[in-house]
């Protein structure tokens, strides 16, 4: 019996040694320290509180491209890059070879078959559909009117109130509520009343945030672990199920209500008041857009609008507050263009905002330093060779670190960590992508002059 145990232990040890050296040979460009059994996960967990800064530094020390290897037998392996030539190759030059893939759709299950999870023809259909909706003049008028109303009736009164009371307010929470109200109105034609003086807890907003949090943790958990939690309905997966159920009940009830309203009146009677995206989709695609398509489209638009805008607003005001010279230049530009009274809050029109070049540059600079989507995930269909010389096998998962790209000296120069809106302004005083071949092709997605950045793949 002892011989059997000895043989089993020897075989297991030999197997572990062989597998360990196999991992060492297969991982030629390690991003972090590769520990036995646990892989590189310990360093990620230890630095989770500043993972994007930590990863940016590690990528810099590895020339912009490296490999992440997860715990043994978890298949949690990625090729991580911030090299702009690699990014251009994956997202443009050889776009058809890199998809989101089935694993991505499993992680982002709550998104359904929307634009952020689909590939090929389904993705193109969603992109073209949304672009056509955004270009409608009626939608542009409706969106401006909705945002102006929220600013005048909710945001400014609350800011005045907390200032008079001498209260401290969490701007991220404030902007999150502001954006949620706008998105509910613009996308669904529904007044959530999330931004009010008593800062109420809105069930649908809470459910939406919970679903996103659970999706985040799916990225760092082994697939087998979160799949088991989902099957047992415990932990974050249980919260995810409950959150999606709440959102689905809300959106399907709204769809049913709008279907009934549309059946009682013709298109001319709905008017500008019903120019929200859900009503427009239902009105223009009654045959091909079923309830599931509408639900998935709305969820994806929620993500595209709420999280991106909340992130940009929060970081923008933090950057401006910590850079008084930039703040002074923004105020000076507004005074020069419109001669407004700085002591009185006024809401600018879209056409007026377009004239504020320096302000636009400051927003682009915010997107560079703190992109709302810090990394992009892609999966290879066929073997490929990246411009950096790194080989890509079929089914290899690539993580593109947009956060690291925004802080690369090679791309932006030695002042890459500085908040400088001037880098986006030409000598003629016009908004322009920074000059330089590699820089110009990289900087284009950071331009905030259109919706294109939401749907780059």
State which of 261, 277, 306 marks the end of a domain.
306
411 inside domain: no
Whether 333 is covered by a domain: the verdict is: yes
- Spatial distance between the Cα atoms of 360 and 367, rounded to a whole number of angstroms: 11
- Tell me the C-alpha distance between 132 and 127, whole Å: 9
Cα separation of 80 and 95, whole Å? 17
Are 64 and 389 in contact, with CB atoms under 8 Å apart? no
Residues 330, 380, single domain; the answer is no
Tell me how many domains the chain contains: 3
Q: For each of the chain's 457 residues, which pLDDT tens digit applies? A: 555 455 545 555 554 454 444 444 445 556 666 777 777 778 878 888 888 898 888 888 888 898 888 777 677 788 999 999 999 999 999 999 999 888 888 888 888 888 888 888 888 888 888 888 888 888 888 989 999 999 999 999 999 998 898 888 899 999 999 999 999 999 888 888 888 888 888 888 888 888 888 888 887 777 888 899 999 999 889 999 998 898 889 888 888 888 887 777 654 454 445 678 888 888 876 556 788 888 898 888 888 888 889 999 999 999 999 999 999 999 999 988 887 555 566 788 888 888 999 999 999 999 999 999 898 999 999 999 999 999 898 878 899 999 999 999 989 999 999 999 999 998 888 888 875 434 544 555 444 443 344 344 4
13 lies in some domain: no
Tell me what pLDDT residue 93 has: 92
Say which DSSP state 304 is in.
I
75 with 114, same domain?
A: no
Specify whether the CB–CB gap between 398 and 377 falls below 8 A.
yes
- Give the pLDDT confidence score for residue 285 in this predicted structure: 64
Note the pLDDT of residue 271: 45
Dihedral sign, Cα of residue 12, residue 18, residue 21, residue 23: negative
CA–CA gap between residue 104 and residue 24 (Å, rounded): 27
| 92, 112: one domain | no
Q: What is the pLDDT of residue 456?
A: 43
Do 55 and 179 reside in the same domain of the chain? no
CA angle 327, 329, 172 (to 5 degrees): 25
Residues 265 and 191 in one domain: yes
Which CATH number characterizes residue 226's domain? 1.10.630.10
Can you read off the two tokens belonging to residue 183?
Answer: 């998105």
Q: Are residues 195 and 240 in the same domain?
A: yes
Q: What is the pLDDT of residue 424?
A: 94
- Token pair in block for residue 63: 């020339």
Same domain, 210 and 346: no
Same domain, 205 and 296: yes
Domain membership flag for residue 6 = no
H/E element holding 398?
strand 397-401
Q: For residue 65, list its beta bridge partners.
A: 81
- Contact between 165 and 231 (Cβ < 8 Å): no
Tell whether 198 is covered by a domain. Answer: yes
Neighbour tally for 154: CB within 10 Å: 20
Q: What is the pLDDT of residue 258?
A: 84
Examine the domain organization and report whether 123 and 240 are in the same domain: yes
The answer to whether residues 70 and 115 belong to one domain is: no
Q: What is the pLDDT of residue 209?
A: 84
Per the structure, the complete domain to which residue 340 belongs is given by 322-370+418-457
Residue 118 lies in a domain: yes
Alpha-carbon radius of gyration of the chain? 25
Same domain for 135 and 210: yes
Residue 258 lies in a domain: yes
Q: Is residue 312 part of a domain?
A: no
Same domain assignment for residues 329 and 426: yes
């Amino acid at each position: 019996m002892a011989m059997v145990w000895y043989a089993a232990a020897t075989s297991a040890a030999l197997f572990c040694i062989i597998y360990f050296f196999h991992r060492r040979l297969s991982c030629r460009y390690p991003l972090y320290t590769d520990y036995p059994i646990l892989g590189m996960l310990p360093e990620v967990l230890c630095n989770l509180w500043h993972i994007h800064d930590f990863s940016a530094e590690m990528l810099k020390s590895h020339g912009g491209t490296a490999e992440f290897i997860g715990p043994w037998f978890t298949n949690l392996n990625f090729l991580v890059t911030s090299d702009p030539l690699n990014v251009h190759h994956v997202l443009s030059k050889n776009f058809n070879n890199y998809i989101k893939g089935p694993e991505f759709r499993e992680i982002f299950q709550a998104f359904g078959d929307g634009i952020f999870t689909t590939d090929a023809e389904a993705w193109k259909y969603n992109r073209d559909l949304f672009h056509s909706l955004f270009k409608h003049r009626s939608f542009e008028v409706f969106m401006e009117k909705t945002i102006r109303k929220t600013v005048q009736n909710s945001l400014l009164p609350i800011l005045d109130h907390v200032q008079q009371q001498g209260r401290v307010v969490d701007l991220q929470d404030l902007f999150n509520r502001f954006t949620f109200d706008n998105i509910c109105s613009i996308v669904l034609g529904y007044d959530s009343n999330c931004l009010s003086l008593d800062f109420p807890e809105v069930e649908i907003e809470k459910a939406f945030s919970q679903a996103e949090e659970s999706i985040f943790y799916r990225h760092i958990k082994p697939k087998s672990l979160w799949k088991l939690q989902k099957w047992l309905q415990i932990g974050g997966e249980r919260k995810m199920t409950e959150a999606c159920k709440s959102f689905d009940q809300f959106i399907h009830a709204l769809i049913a209500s709008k279907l009934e309203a549309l059946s009682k009146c013709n298109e001319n009677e709905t008017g500008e008041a019903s120019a929200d995206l859900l009503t427009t989709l239902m009105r223009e695609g009654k045959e091909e857009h079923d309830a599931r398509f509408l639900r998935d489209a709305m969820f994806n638009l929620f993500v595209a609008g709420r999280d991106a805008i909340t992130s940009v607003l929060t970081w923008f005001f933090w950057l401006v507050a910590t850079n008084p010279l930039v703040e002074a230049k923004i105020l000076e530009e507004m005074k020069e263009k419109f001669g407004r009274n700085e002591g009185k809050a006024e809401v600018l029109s879209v056409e007026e905002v377009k004239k504020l070049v320096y302000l636009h540059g400051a927003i682009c600079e915010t997107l560079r330093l703190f992109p709302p989507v810090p990394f992009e995930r892609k999966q290879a269909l066929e073997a490929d060779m990246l411009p950096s010389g790194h080989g890509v096998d079929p089914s290899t998962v690539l993580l593109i670190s947009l956060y690291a790209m925004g802080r690369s000296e090679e791309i932006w120069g030695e002042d890459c960590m500085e908040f400088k809106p001037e880098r986006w302004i030409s000598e003629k005083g016009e908004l322009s992508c920074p000059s330089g071949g590699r820089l110009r092709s990289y900087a284009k997605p950071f331009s905030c002059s259109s919706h294109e950045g939401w749907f780059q793949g």
